[in-house]
Copies of this chain bind each other. A is one copy, B any other.
Amino acid sequence: MHLTDLQTPALVLEPHKLRANAERMRARAEALGVRLRPHMKTAKSHDIGKVAHSGVTGPITVATLNEAEYFAAHGWTDVLYAVCIAPGKLDRVAALTARGVKLTVIVDALEAAQAVAEHAGTHSAMVEIDCGEDRTGISPDDPALVAMGRVLHTAAGCTFEGVMTHGGHSYSEHEPSAMAQVAEDERAHAVRAGDALRAAGLPCSTVSVGSTPTATHARHLEGVTEMRPGVYLLGDLFQSGVGSCTSADIACTVLATVISHRRHSNRIVVDAGGLALSKDRSTAGTPFDAGYGLVLDALTGQPLGDLCVTSVHQEHGEITSRDPMPWKALPIGALVRILPNHICMTAAMYERYHLLGHGGQIDGIWTRTNGWAERPAQ
């Protein structure tokens, strides 16, 4: 099958870019002296997980229990579920643990720690630390940290693993030095939390940090045991805008077809709209606002001038340009590829990746998981 045979919109993956992104981050983790626990909330694909770990299963992070169940079904056994656990999900967690998966949950409240401690299943748990984003997590100086650690450590059937944090405030920075400072926020807060636990006589074998920008810009990770970047595997325009990658590293694009010419207003309409691209506007307010995505030649992958998708309807994307539109190069029926603003949101609309090889050949299909539904054990 060839790229031109695909029904659009479709998600296209360039495996050589993916492999290079994976290799770069593995080298980075090795240089920093930490374990790499890639966050699979972006790629949601066991095939891509294998690329992240150079061909084998390994430690991963997930953002939903659906992802945990999907990876467990494909043989992955060391999973951190990095969203504060809702007590009503503990049966589902325990079912995975009973199948031999080490699925570590996180808490940031004593009530949640108590719910984990009192649950009948076997559990592995950590405390989430806030290092400046103020999304979830507690201060390393909050006495609740030791209280939670003690509840989890002393509970029968519960293993207390340590602490984790996410420097999500890196996403509002655009300068390498500011990113490096957020990385240091992550490191310093997590290490201080680990120290507080140990000073109280509690174990803290894991000190976990991470986001793609901080993993890229951290100066050192002394005292940290693992990092959890995720979007680096595929990349997107926001990440290239903040220096986590270049736009040439972005491994994933949306294939779309030209369906209408608007000559009177210098616009072209494609069949990729708000669902196919997502309504994410991460590049708004950055030095290069790409609207809903930057338009590439489908086969060469080179940008088509300054063409961007600047407006979306559910199934329509409107492409505009400051220059005259290249009508002849883009007749009705022509294919383009679109670089996404935020690949976590865009890829979530697709069930599969089409693997782009030499000369536009499609070399295979990789599946992904989506949503929150319970997946049956396999």
Residues of A near any B CB (own CB < 8 A) = 4, 7-10, 41, 63-65, 83-89, 92, 108-109, 111-112, 115, 134-137, 168, 257-262, 265, 269, 271, 274-276, 278-281, 313-316, 318, 331-333, 344-345, 348-352, 370-374
Contact = CB atoms under 8 A, between A and B. Distances in A.
Given A41-B314, A92-B7, A274-B280, A269 B84 contact: yes
Contacts of A315: 41, 63-64, 83
This chain's copy number in the assembly: 2
B135 A269 contact: yes
A111 B371 contact: no
B279 A279 contact: yes
A260 B64 contact: no
Contacts of A313: 135, 168
A279 B345 contact: yes
Given A7-B89, A89-B7, A259-B85, A371 B345 contact: no
B136 A333 contact: no
Nearest to A265: B134
A136 B372 contact: no
Nearest to A42: B314
Nearest to A372: B9
Contacts of A280: 274, 279
A373 B313 CA distance: 19
A236 B41 CA distance: 28
